[in-house]
Amino acid sequence: MDEQRVVPDGRTALVVGAGIGGLAAALGLRRAGWAVQVLERAPALGEVGAGWSFAPNAVRAADELGIGEQFRALSAPSRAGTNLLTPSGASLMRFRPGRDEVLLANHRADLHRMMLSRLPEGVVHTGTRIVEVTPSGTDVGVTYVTPQGTGHARAAVVVAADGIHSTVRRQLWPTAPRPVFQHITCWRGVTRSGSVWPVDGFQTWGRGERVGVHPLPGKRAYWFLTVRQKRAGVHYPDDLAEVRRRVGHWHDPIPALLEATTAESVLRHDIYDLDPLPRYTMDRVALLGDAAHAMTPFLAQGASQALEDSVVLAAELADGGPVPAALDRYDRARRPRTQLIARMARTDPHYSLSTSPLTYHLLTAVTRLASTAVVRRKTGRLWDWTPPRIPAGRRQPHI
């Protein structure tokens, strides 16, 4: 936005953050007839990261956002949800066609690029750092800084999709707890195209360590390794060498996948999440995605819940009624579900990533005996979600 530009009154929204959640919010609000601008702190657009997977609830959200066809086109089917192995390659559970759900896996950068392409040029503004957000009752004032100077804007609603370290959350929820380190570190990598193919998708459960693998379009494979970690900020001279040391001797094709990954492409992150917030909204400001409910990746629901948030937010704001009332409904709809899933995602690694020999023995034994009904009960709480419809609002020119 130009310095000092003021957003016109009416159905105007400012979205803070141009990650997956922010772009989904912008797509949903525009679908509902809102004029939207997205403010991104990074100096250039482009999602970093590797791969991830999505369950059916996320795909239904993508459909309601109007990007379902494109979402499927850039994804590959993965059986990793129920192809479970031990480090020796012994099977704990096998995917059964017709019984088990196929996940869709894609590369973060591909998904981000597609979503960005669905927004008109000029909607997303990079190099824009939020300084202050001030709800006034009738609108929200936003002060921001760009390389050109300080600017001010006003909008009917502000959506904070600026991640686990959200600037907006820190300002308006000053007593909210800081992100919590869950004593887990995760490495991620993507293989060179065609180097190890085909890949079916699987998870391998070790004691205190877990490997997951998903196929990606372009004959690539995405892999991750999660391990227990006593303290945050531990660095290794060579991350790929550290992964090889830990799991390079595990069953095929894990050694080949690591060999087909370049050392400079490997990412390592400590895993943090958020304690539950008492509200996701304040007057005309709404938290969305990781800004509201950052969770561990163990249920593969973090990005999925951001997509769900975006659909519900747009549906509540589509009717043209009072914004605070619509955001209250959004909060009531989203907080119980997302906080339940975040709690499940925090609890899961207490068992699935336990270093205890007894816990590992019990976990693998129970998994071998698990029935279809048990699997469906666990996944049903996550995946059996039906999105609300986003009524087509009256179109407004983007500002």
Domains of the chain (ranges, CATH numbers): 12-74+106-180+275-348+372-383 (3.50.50.60)
Q: What is the Cα–Cα distance from 305 to 338, expressed in whole angstroms? A: 7
> How many other C-beta atoms can be found within 10 angstroms of the C-beta atom of residue 147?
9
pLDDT recorded at residue 8: 42
Of 16-30, 94-108, 113-127, 284-298, the poorest mean pLDDT is in 94-108
Model pLDDT for residues 50-96, shown as the tens digit of each residue: 999 999 999 999 999 999 999 999 999 999 999 999 999 999 999 98
Model pLDDT for residues 8-40, shown as the tens digit of each residue: 447 999 999 999 999 999 999 999 999 999 999
Ramachandran area for residue 398 (φ above 0: left; ψ -120 to 50: alpha; else beta): beta
Entry pTM: 0.94
Nearest CA to 378 among 101, 108, 36, 168?
101
The number of C-alpha atoms within 13 Å of 4 and in the hemisphere containing its C-beta is 0
Residue 303, classed as helix, strand or coil, is helix
One-character DSSP codes across 85-101: E-TT--EEE---TTTSP
Region 345-352: what's the mean pLDDT?
95
253 cis-preceded (ω within 30 degrees of 0): yes
Q: What is the Cα–Cα distance from 73 to 50, expressed in whole angstroms? A: 18
Cβ contact 152:196 at 8 Å: no
221 strand-pairing partners: 215
370 strand-pairing partners: none
Residue with tokens 């799991």: 247
Would you place residue 3 in the very low, low, confident or very high pLDDT band (cuts 50, 70, 90)? very low
